[in-house]
Homo-oligomer: A and B are copies of this chain.
Amino acid sequence: MTWATIATWRMAYEGMQKASEILAADGSAGDAVEKLINEVEAYPYYKSVGYGGLPNEEGVVEMDAAFMDGDTLAQGSVAGIQNVMHAVSVARSLSSEHYNSFRVGAGATKYASLHGFEMTNMLTDRAKARWQKRLRETQENNLNPYNGHDTVGAITLSNKGSMAAATSTSGLFMKKSGRVGDSPLSGSGFYVDSEIGGAAATGLGEDIMKGCMSYEIVRRMADGQSPQAACDEAVYPFIEKLKKRYGKAGEFSLVALNNQGEWGIATNVEFTFCVATDQQAPKIMIAYPDANQTTRIEPITKEWLDAYEKRIKEPI
């Protein structure tokens, strides 16, 4: 067997290095995907996930996360959880419960507290400064307050053929309290079946859930499509359908991995992602929507990476 992993955005890179070590050492798909996401959650300069994540309109960091075991189909999810360093680890713990495996709001936070998860104030000074600035901008210029909704979502395949999926996000910047996106929702933000493959999403959750995009990609792989064909044929026609029926479509991007280690991407915006396999060290790539409902994928450039590094650390 081969191991493999794919994840959304440049921010997954450092976590993917750790996940790859676990997978290369015959570790479990679940341990690898949790470790990958934990690294993103803990890094304060990634402003859409975990510590340093941007708050809701009231200045409160509310997080959504999910974990799914592709062998058993067990799932755990949290939404609107507060003060928890590793929301994905809470979700993974919940996935061992047959009842009450999806908890929201104060009930989710209570579960984390009762079960000894690390709790802290998740609003960094930097995130608070961004929130204060955005509040001023939206008041002064009557701007749409919403932007930034980058979820880290990842799929892993172990040497033993087991798969797992997980997501974590602080959600839409300036969201209303208790707003939930696709990330904790089965079939929308994530789905994985070790006998087929998995998919995960990032983007405007309100639109992703209108099409159950992750489930649709997995069921296309079940019908024999390659991950890339499944992504292209699920995502691009759905974007057209949304424009026609709903009048508009938000930004969204999907990653998929099958149980042979093959992967695919679809996106309607510039979108970075990370991939690693037993044949390929962790690598950052960039994808764009291309002509005829296909996806163009290119290596990342040093210029892009340097500009990114500068951007995430620039003064607020």
Contact = CB atoms under 8 A, between A and B. Distances in A.
A71 B205 CA distance: 19
Interface string A88-109: 0000000001111111111110
Central interface residue in A79, A102, A172, A175, by most chain B CB within 10 Å: A102
Given A105-B80, A187-B215, A206 B175 contact: no
A72 interface: yes
Interface residues of A, number: 53
Nearest to A111: B176
A219 interface: yes
Interface string A202-231: 001110011110011001000000000000
A247 B106 CA distance: 31
In this complex, which of A102, A105, A181 has the most chain B Cβ atoms within 10 angstroms of its Cβ?
Answer: A105
Copies of this chain, count: 2
Contact of A206 (B102, B107, B204, B216): B102
A186 B172 contact: no
A73 B246 contact: yes
B185 A72 contact: no
Given A80-B107, A210-B73, A246-B72, A102 B179 contact: yes
Q: Nearest 6 A-B pairs (CB), nearest first?
A: A107-B178, A105-B105, A107-B177, A187-B212, A104-B104, A100-B176
